[in-house]
Chain A
Amino acid sequence: MFTYTVRRLLLAIPTLLFISLIIFLLLDLAPGDPTAQLPLTIPPEVREKIRESLGLGQPVYVRYLLWLKQFLVAEPLHVFDTMFGTGFADGMQRVISWQTRSPVADIIAQRMPQTLWVVGLSYVIGTLIALPIGIISAYRQYSWFDQIGALVSMIGYSVPTFFTGVLLIVVFAVNLGWFPSIYDTTHVVDSWDAFVFQVRQMAMPVFVLALYNAAQISRFMRASMLDNLAQDYVRTARAKGMSEKVVVLLHVLRNSMIPVVTVIALGVPTIFGGAIITEQVFKVNGLGQLLITAIYANDIPMVQTLTFIFAVLIVLFNLIADVLYGMLDPRIRYD
C-alpha cells in the first residue's frame, strides 16, 4: 500500500504539470482582455499600456514558465518565510492578481474562512443528514419515509441553488425578516449574540447547500444499503440470531459505507472550489465568488492559480479515496 501511494504521488507530478499547462493554454487562447471591463472612456493607447504593465507583452511560454516559477518556488518560499521568519523569498515576484495587483495567495487565504465555514459546514451537515436518511430509506424500502426521502432528494438534486436560494431570501429575509439577505464577511464572533448572528447569517446558505449535498449522498447510501441487505451474509447474520440493530448498523452499514466514503471523499475538493452560485446569491464572498469575478475580469493569474489548486485537490482526494477504499475493504489490494 505504501509503495502504491508513493508511486501514485510521483505519477501525480507530471499529471499536474500537464494540467497546469492545459489550463494556462486554455485561458490564454480564450478570447478576452483584462481591460475589457474598463469604461470605454479609457483610450486604447492607455489600455495597451495597462496590458503591458500586466506582462501581456511577453510570449506565452515565458509567461507560463514565469507563473510556474512564481507558484512553485516563490509562493512556497514565502509561506516558509512567514512561518519561520526567514528571508528566502525576498525580492521574488509572487503570483500577482491583475485585478487587485496584490498577491493571489493572500486573497485566497482571506477568502478561505468564509468558504470553509459555509460550504464546508453544509457538506458536513448534508452528510450527517444523508446517512440516516439513506439507511432508513433502504431498510424500510417503499415505506412512506422512503417515498418522502425520494421526493425531497429529487427536489434537492434537481432544483438549482439559484432558485432555492432566492426563494429562501424572498420568504425568510424579505417577508419574514428572520435572516439577513447579505452575508457580513467582516463579522467577528466574540460574544453569544455575535455567535447567534453568525448562525443566522449562515442558516440560509448552509441550508441550500446541505439540501443539495444530502440529496446526492442519501441516494448513494440507500442504493448501497439495498445492495448489501440482499446479500447472503445478512441472511446468515439473522439466522445466527443477531438483533436487527447489529445486523443493520454493524454488518450492513460497514459494508455499505465503502462506496459512500469514496463518494464523500471525492466531493471534498468541491468544498474548496466554493459554491459559485450559492456564494453569489447570498453574498458570501468566498472562493467561488473569487473565481467567478476573476473569470469575468479576465484575471488570468487568479483563475490559473485557483483552478490549479482545485486540480491538485482533486488529484489528491482521488488518491485518498483509493487508499481509503483499500483500507475499508480488505479484499482490495493494489500491490
Chain B
Amino acid sequence: MRFRTALLGAVALTALTGAASAERGSDGQVNIIYWQAPSILNPFLSGGTKEVESASLVIEPLVRFDETGEMVPWLAESIPTVENGGVAEDLTKITWTLKEGVLWSDGTPLTAEDAVFTWEYCTHPEGGCAQSSYFDGVSSVVAVDDRTIEVNFAAPKPFPYTAFVGSESPIIQKAQFADCLGAKAPECTEANFAPIGTGPFVVTDFRPNDVVQFAANENFREAGKPAFATVLFKGGGDATAAARSVMETGEFDYAWNLQIDPNVLSSMEAKGLGKVVTAFATSVERIHVNQTDPNPSLGAERATLAHPHPFLTDPTIGQALSMAIDRSLIADVGYGAGGQPTCNVLPAPAAYASTANDGCLVQDIEGAKKLLDDAGWVPGPDGVRVKDGVRLSLTYQTSTNAVRQDTQALVKQWWSEIGVETELRNIDASVFFGGDPGSPDTFQKFYADVEMYTNNFAGVDPEAYMANWRCSEIPSPETQWQGSNMQRFCSEEYDALVDKMSQTANLEERGALAKQMNDMLMQSYSIIPLIHRGNPSAHAVTLEGVRMNDWDSEIWNIKDWSRAK
C-alpha cells in the first residue's frame, strides 16, 4: 500500500515537473466566454469589469491579489512595507522596484518611466479616466532609475497599495500611448483596442462587443508560460447560454459571471463536462433603511435630513425587520453556490469581518413580533401595526432583476407576518443606478422607505468603503444627489472612527476599527445585510490551474492555466 502511494506520488511528481517544463503554447487554444463582451481593451477608458478582466491578459499591475486577498508581487520584485523600508516612516511615500528584465510584448524593456506615464495618463483632467480614484492622494510619481518607482502622497497614506495595484490599475506603455493624453485618449483607437502589455498574451484581433483573439506573448518573462498558444475571448448571448457552452456542449473552456437559477446551474454541472467555481470578495446584497422621510408631500425637501423618517430611525423597527428575514432561504432560492447569508456589510477579508452580529443568521419571527409589541406597536384591524396614528407601511424598491424580485416577494411575506405592510417597486437598473439627478427613481434619491442592491469595494482595504457612511456623504439636493451614504446614516462617533482609520497604519488596528464601524452600522439597523454574494463561473474539467478570484481579475493567473493531459 505504502509502496503504491509512493509510486503514485512519484507519478504525480513527474506529471508536475512535466507540466512545469512544458513548452510555451503547447496546449493549443483556450476558449473563454464572457457573455458581456468587452467594448475596449483599455480599462482606463471604460471601467467595466468585462474590459478590466479581458485587458488583464495583456496589461499588468505591480501587484495582484490572490484568491485569499493576499498581495502577490507581479511586476514588482517585492511588497514594500514600513518594516523593509519600502514605505516611508511618515507614510507619505512608497518605493517600488520592478522585476529585472521585464519586456513589453514588442521587445522593449519595461521601465519606471512607463509607470510615471500611466499616472499622467490617468490623472489628466480631460481624459475621463475611469480608474483615477486609484491615484487619489498621489502628489507625484517619480522614476528614480529604470527600475525604481517612487509614489509620493500629499498626506500620510496608511494603506499605500492603491496606485498600480490590482487589475484596475495596470501599467500601460509610454511609447504606445504618448500621443493619447487627455482629450486625445479616445482618438487612439488602435492603442485602445490592442494595448501593448507585459502579460502572458498579446492581442491579435479585437472586435468590439464581439470577440477578442490573443496569442501567447513571446517576450513573456516566465519561461514556458503561458501553456496556451491562443485565446478566443468570445462575448454575446446571456449567462445561461454561456454556462451551457461550457458544461453541456463543451464548446468553451471557461464562462464568466453565471448568476442564473441555481437549479439550472447544478443540473448543467451534473453532466460532468464542467465545474462551477465561486469566489467571494466583498459584495453584499443589502437593504438600506431610509433614515429620512421620502413622503412626496414634502416636495423638494423629500428624503433629506430636514425630515427624519417617522419610524425607521428607531433601531428597534429595523431590528424587527432584520429578525423576520430567513437569509438562508433567500440564498437557496436565488443564489445557490453564489451566495451565503451574512450579517455584516463588511464580510471580508477575514481580518476585517466582525462576528458580533451573527445572531441574524437565524430567522426569529416571534422575537420580531415581541420587539414590536414591547415598543408599543400594536396590530390594527387589517393586521398592520400602528402606533400614534403611524402605520408600519413601507415601500421597498430595487432594480429589475429576477432574483431581486423573488427576494422582494419573500421579504414582503415575512414582514407581513410581523405586521409590516410592504409595497414593492422595481426600477430598470440603468435608471436606478444611473445617478441622473433629474430622475426620481435613482438609488441616491431614495424616494422609498427601504431599497435593496449590492455594493462592494475594489481591492482589499475597506477604508474608503467604510467612509461611505460619513454624514458628509449623504446625497441631497445641495450635492446634486451625489454621495454614497444612501440610507442617510449620520453619527459623529462614526465619523471620528473614519478619521481615525485614515491615520492608522497598523493592519491589526485597522481591522479592529473596521469591525467597530461595521458593528455600529449594523446595530443602527440602517443597513440590513442579506447575502454575501460570490461570483460563480464555470470551467471545463479539462482546464487546469484555475484559481477563482474575486479580489482581482478572475482570470488573473491565466499564465498558469493548462490543459489536462
Interface of A with B (CB < 8 Å)?
31-33, 35-54, 96-97, 99-103, 106-107, 110-111, 169, 173-174, 177, 180-182, 184-186, 279-285, 289-290, 293, 296-298
Are B208 and A100 in contact, with the CB atoms below 8 A? yes
Closest B residue to A48 by CB, please name it: B482
Contact among A38, A180, A289 with B209 in the assembled complex (CB-CB below 8 Å): A289
Residues of A within 8 A of B186 (CB): 53, 96, 101-102
Are B244 and A285 in contact, with the CB atoms below 8 A? no
Which of B126, B210, B455 has the most A CB atoms < 10 Å from its CB?
B210
Are B236 and A280 in contact, with the CB atoms below 8 A? yes
Are A281 and B192 in contact, with the CB atoms below 8 A? no
Are B133 and A180 in contact, with the CB atoms below 8 A? no
Q: A36-B430, A100-B192, A185-B207 given. 11 additional CB < 8 A pairs?
A: A33-B434, A44-B483, A53-B183, A97-B208, A100-B39, A100-B208, A101-B185, A107-B208, A285-B207, A297-B39, A298-B434
Are A181 and B40 in contact, with the CB atoms below 8 A? no
Looking at the assembled complex, report how far the CB atom of B119 sits from the nearest CB atom of chain A, in whole angstroms. Answer: 15
Looking at the assembled complex, report how far the CB atom of A58 sits from the nearest CB atom of chain B, in whole angstroms. Answer: 14
Please tell me which stretch of B45-53, B296-304, B553-561 contacts chain A, meaning at least 4 of its Cβ atoms lie within 8 angstroms of it: B45-53
The contact sample of 20 A-B pairs, CB cut-off 8 A, is: A31-B434, A36-B429, A36-B434, A42-B133, A46-B132, A50-B130, A101-B45, A102-B189, A110-B207, A110-B208, A169-B244, A174-B244, A174-B249, A180-B249, A182-B241, A182-B252, A186-B207, A282-B237, A283-B236, A283-B241
Residues of B within 8 A of A184 (CB): 234
Please tell me which stretch of B435-443, B487-495, B531-539 contacts chain A, meaning at least 4 of its Cβ atoms lie within 8 angstroms of it: B435-443
Contact with A along B170-183 (1 / 0, CB 8 A): 00000000000001
Which of A45, A103, A180, A182 has the most B CB atoms < 10 Å from its CB?
A182
A169 to B238, CA, bound (A): 14
A285 to B251, CA, bound (A): 17
Judged by a CB distance under 8 angstroms, whether B211 is at the interface is yes
Residues of B within 8 A of A44 (CB): 435, 482-484
Are B245 and A99 in contact, with the CB atoms below 8 A? no
The 9 closest A-B pairs by CB, nearest first: A53-B128, A33-B434, A101-B186, A99-B39, A285-B210, A100-B208, A36-B434, A102-B189, A283-B236
Judged by a CB distance under 8 angstroms, whether B193 is at the interface is yes
A284 to B429, CA, bound (A): 25
Contact among A37, A52, A282 with B48 in the assembled complex (CB-CB below 8 Å): A37
Residues of B within 8 A of A101 (CB): 40, 42, 45, 185-186, 189, 192
Contact among B39, B209, B241, B483 with A285 in the assembled complex (CB-CB below 8 Å): B209
**CB interface residues, B 431-464, toward A, < 8 Å:** 431, 433-436, 438-439, 441, 455-458
Contact (A181, B433) CB under 8 Å given A44-B483, A186-B211, A281-B237 = no
Contact among A39, A169, A279 with B458 in the assembled complex (CB-CB below 8 Å): A39
Are A186 and B213 in contact, with the CB atoms below 8 A? yes
Closest B residue to A298 by CB, please name it: B430
Judged by a CB distance under 8 angstroms, whether B33 is at the interface is yes
A185 to B207, CA, bound (A): 9
Judged by a CB distance under 8 angstroms, whether B232 is at the interface is yes
Judged by a CB distance under 8 angstroms, whether B37 is at the interface is yes
A53 to B42, CA, bound (A): 15
Looking at the assembled complex, report how far the CB atom of A197 sits from the nearest CB atom of chain B, in whole angstroms. Answer: 12
Are B47 and A39 in contact, with the CB atoms below 8 A? yes
Closest B residue to A282 by CB, please name it: B237
Looking at the assembled complex, report how far the CB atom of A177 sits from the nearest CB atom of chain B, in whole angstroms. Answer: 7
Judged by a CB distance under 8 angstroms, whether B248 is at the interface is yes
Judged by a CB distance under 8 angstroms, whether B544 is at the interface is no
Interface of B with A (CB < 8 Å)?
33, 36-37, 39-40, 42, 45-49, 125-133, 183, 185-186, 189, 192-193, 205, 207-211, 213, 232, 234-238, 241, 244-245, 248-249, 251-252, 429-431, 433-436, 438-439, 441, 455-458, 482-484
Are A41 and B238 in contact, with the CB atoms below 8 A? no
Which of B39, B125, B251, B438 has the most A CB atoms < 10 Å from its CB?
B39
A107 to B206, CA, bound (A): 11
A35 to B185, CA, bound (A): 17
Closest A residue to B208 by CB, please name it: A100
A52 to B183, CA, bound (A): 10
Contact (A42, B431) CB under 8 Å given A182-B251, A185-B211, A283-B237 = no
Contact among A32, A52, A97, A182 with B237 in the assembled complex (CB-CB below 8 Å): A182
Closest A residue to B441 by CB, please name it: A31
Looking at the assembled complex, report how far the CB atom of B265 sits from the nearest CB atom of chain A, in whole angstroms. Answer: 15
Residues of A within 8 A of B248 (CB): 174
Looking at the assembled complex, report how far the CB atom of A60 sits from the nearest CB atom of chain B, in whole angstroms. Answer: 13
Are B456 and A38 in contact, with the CB atoms below 8 A? no
Residues of A within 8 A of B129 (CB): 46, 49
Are A281 and B430 in contact, with the CB atoms below 8 A? no
A282 to B249, CA, bound (A): 14
Are B192 and A285 in contact, with the CB atoms below 8 A? no
Which of A36, A52, A173 has the most B CB atoms < 10 Å from its CB?
A36
Looking at the assembled complex, report how far the CB atom of B428 sits from the nearest CB atom of chain A, in whole angstroms. Answer: 8
Residues of A within 8 A of B42 (CB): 101
Residues of A within 8 A of B457 (CB): 41
Residues of A within 8 A of B237 (CB): 182, 280-283
A42 to B47, CA, bound (A): 8
Contact (A32, B434) CB under 8 Å given A41-B458, A43-B133, A49-B132 = yes
A70 to B209, CA, bound (A): 23
A37 to B434, CA, bound (A): 8
A199 to B48, CA, bound (A): 35
Residues of A within 8 A of B431 (CB): 31-32, 36
A298 to B455, CA, bound (A): 21
A42 to B189, CA, bound (A): 23
Looking at the assembled complex, report how far the CB atom of A111 sits from the nearest CB atom of chain B, in whole angstroms. Answer: 8
Residues of B within 8 A of A51 (CB): 128
Closest B residue to A101 by CB, please name it: B186
Are B236 and A53 in contact, with the CB atoms below 8 A? no
Are B126 and A53 in contact, with the CB atoms below 8 A? yes
Looking at the assembled complex, report how far the CB atom of A293 sits from the nearest CB atom of chain B, in whole angstroms. Answer: 5
Contact (A99, B40) CB under 8 Å given A32-B434, A110-B207, A285-B210 = yes
Residues of B within 8 A of A281 (CB): 237, 241
Residues of A within 8 A of B40 (CB): 99-102
Are B128 and A50 in contact, with the CB atoms below 8 A? yes
Looking at the assembled complex, report how far the CB atom of A277 sits from the nearest CB atom of chain B, in whole angstroms. Answer: 11
Contact (A181, B241) CB under 8 Å given A102-B192, A107-B208 = yes
Residues of A within 8 A of B48 (CB): 37-39
Closest B residue to A93 by CB, please name it: B187
A180 to B248, CA, bound (A): 11
Are A32 and B430 in contact, with the CB atoms below 8 A? yes
Are A280 and B238 in contact, with the CB atoms below 8 A? yes
Are B430 and A33 in contact, with the CB atoms below 8 A? yes
Contact (A185, B210) CB under 8 Å given A36-B429, A36-B430 = yes
A180 to B241, CA, bound (A): 12
Looking at the assembled complex, report how far the CB atom of B273 sits from the nearest CB atom of chain A, in whole angstroms. Answer: 11
Residues of A within 8 A of B125 (CB): 49
A95 to B441, CA, bound (A): 31
Are A53 and B189 in contact, with the CB atoms below 8 A? no
Looking at the assembled complex, report how far the CB atom of B470 sits from the nearest CB atom of chain A, in whole angstroms. Answer: 13
A48 to B248, CA, bound (A): 43
Are A181 and B251 in contact, with the CB atoms below 8 A? yes
A200 to B488, CA, bound (A): 57
Which of B129, B133, B209, B482 has the most A CB atoms < 10 Å from its CB?
B209
Looking at the assembled complex, report how far the CB atom of B541 sits from the nearest CB atom of chain A, in whole angstroms. Answer: 17
Which of B131, B186, B252 has the most A CB atoms < 10 Å from its CB?
B186
Are B209 and A99 in contact, with the CB atoms below 8 A? yes
Residues of B within 8 A of A97 (CB): 39, 208
Looking at the assembled complex, report how far the CB atom of A185 sits from the nearest CB atom of chain B, in whole angstroms. Answer: 6
A276 to B39, CA, bound (A): 18
Are A99 and B208 in contact, with the CB atoms below 8 A? yes
A285 to B435, CA, bound (A): 30
Closest B residue to A186 by CB, please name it: B211
